[in-house]
Amino acid sequence: MSDVSIPLRDKIYQDNIHVFETASKKAKQTGIIFTVVVLYFLFAFFSLGVDKIAEKWNPERASFLALDIYAHKDHFKMPWKKTENKLQITLEGNLRQEYKVTPEWAEKSDDNKWTVTFKNGGKVDAYYFPDNPLAGYAVMYDFPGVEEIFTFRINEDKRPYVEGYEDRVEELPGFIRQTKNKLEVRPSLFSRIQFTKSKIEIHRFSRGWKYFWFDNNGPLDGYSLFGALSKIFSGDRIVEEMSNAKLIWVEFTENELWQHGKAWYALLETIIMAFMGTLIAMLVGFPLAFLAAYNITPLAGVRFAVRRLFDFLRGIDFLVWSLIFLRAFGPGPFTGIFAIAFTDTGTLGKLMSEAIENTEKNQKEGVESTGANKTLQNRFGIIPQILPVFISQSLYYLESNTRGAVIIGAMGAGGIGLQFLGALQTGTDFENVAYYTVLVVGVVIAMDMFSAWLRKKLIVPFGQFG
């Protein structure tokens, strides 16, 4: 810049003033748009409460959910009163999943004494006295990283306390929480002790999904999957009534904890909703699209009516359609099928009518020149041109409708969406939530891949002819 004198620079500026003005105007415009966007963003940020994200986050629930997704827990529940009869060792506290044989980690090590051993070596001894329930106490020891031995007792006022810490509750280590009626102890992530005046409850976590293949009420309790499968080829039956292969199938699908049969049937319902809905939309939307295209239908009135029909079907969201159908058909796949079919008839019909209007005239004229009538002209002049678009679009809709069917399902139409919502609302069955999530995501990915594969398979041969 140094060898350009000031007057010359001004002259360049004066000569090309339109260039500079346009540029500065554009920069100003961009600046204004940017400021407006940022201001709106800030407004939305605070009005939606995004700044309160940390307050709303519930870490306790999050850790339960995370832990439950990859681990299961065994409950050891021992009331101080009538202990002999009321002691329960169950899976996830579910009374139907009580262990018939006492597992090796819990043992009656003495008269009036039970010992629970954790996987990390930690032990809890629980002493009970049939004559005097309030004298029951528990001793916790051998946990890695915890050197002290803690003893939990109940005092005369029926309040639980930690021995030696009666007067200095605030000096208790962080993993022991003492409230008025309860001691909550979590010496490690995979162990938890709840001590109250009426009972002691010990949760022992282990990795993995237990009883995923066979529950512990059936004859296959204790078999691993491959252990059971290998029995198919051995002659002797496990149960008299049915063959081993059938037994494995029945036990697997009717697993009480995981309910595979039910979940898969729900999944099938969801897929059927998506499939049938898209199919009906294709079958209805395709002919209607011809009625809405100006190069096929000369009657403006018909075109107008069909187009408004498409707008109507599309504009009323599938949420509203599913509400209306939910009333008419009740909960079930029909609701989902028709909600999807109605919305997508509008969408596909509009799309296809535009595709028909964009077709080349020449092919139709060529067919016309051979003396073919109107129907044949459309069949051989128009359809081959739009068929690839139609099929690939329909497959795209099938894909997105799979997600849609999950959503309609959760709103009441049934299927895997409703199962998912139900499992989540119980607040305890997070392993089922995780299982259904895996199923939903799996079916969405499978549908994606299936439609991509089908698109490739179908479009190439049609393309060669069309």
Partner 1 sequence: MNSTKSIPDHIQKIDNDLLKLERAKRNYSFLSIGIVILVCYLGISVSENSNAGSFARGISSFFDYPVDIISEAYQSGFSFYGLIIKYIPVLIETINMAVFSTTVGFIGGLIFSIFSARNLIKNPTVIFWVRRLMDVCRAFPELVIALLFLYLMGKSALPAVIAISIHTAGALGKLFSEAVENCDMKQIEGLESVGAKWIMRVRFGIIPQVFPILLSYTLLRLEINVRASTILGFVGAGGIGEILSKNIQWKYGADICAVILILVLTITAIDYLSRYFRGILIGDGKKGLGFGAKILPGKNE
Residue 92 Cβ vs partner 1, minimum distance, rounded to whole Å: 18
Q: Tell me which DSSP letter residue 213 carries.
A: S
393 makes contact with partner 1 (CB under 8 A): yes
CA–CA gap between residue 100 and residue 16 (Å, rounded) = 93
Cβ proximity to partner 1: between 41 and 226 the closer is 41
383 makes contact with partner 1 (CB under 8 A): no
Residue 313 CB partners (closer than 8 Å, separation 6+): 342, 343, 345, 346, 347, 349
For partner 1, what does the binding mask look like between residues 110 and 139, x meaning CB under 8 A?
A: ------------------------------
CA–CA gap between residue 168 and residue 312 (Å, rounded) = 72
CA–CA gap between residue 400 and residue 14 (Å, rounded) = 57
Residue 292 Cβ vs partner 1, minimum distance, rounded to whole Å: 12
Nearest to 103 by CA among 173, 206, 185, 28: 206
Segment 396-425, which members bind partner 1 (CB under 8 A)? 396, 403, 406-407, 410-411, 414, 417, 420-421, 424
Residue 208 CB partners (closer than 8 Å, separation 6+): 70, 71, 72
Residue 385 Cβ vs partner 1, minimum distance, rounded to whole Å: 15
Cβ proximity to partner 1: between 204 and 314 the closer is 314
CA angle, 56 then 60 then 64, to 5°: 125
Segment 257-296, which members bind partner 1 (CB under 8 A)? 265, 268-269, 272, 275-276, 279
Residue 119 Cβ vs partner 1, minimum distance, rounded to whole Å: 28
36 makes contact with partner 1 (CB under 8 A): no
Segment 292-351, which members bind partner 1 (CB under 8 A)? 311, 314-320, 323-325, 327-335, 337, 347, 350-351
CA–CA gap between residue 161 and residue 179 (Å, rounded) = 9
Segment 53-92, which members bind partner 1 (CB under 8 A)? 53, 56-58, 61-62, 65
CA distances from 64 to 93, 174, 189, 192, 407 (A): 15, 18, 10, 12, 25
Tokens matching residue 279: 């199919």
> What's phi and psi for 138, nearest 5 deg?
-135, 145
Report the DSSP beta bridge partners of residue 124.
116, 140
For partner 1, what does the binding mask look like between residues 173 and 212, x meaning CB under 8 A?
A: ----------------------------------------
Residue 449 Cβ vs partner 1, minimum distance, rounded to whole Å: 11
Residue 356 Cβ vs partner 1, minimum distance, rounded to whole Å: 12
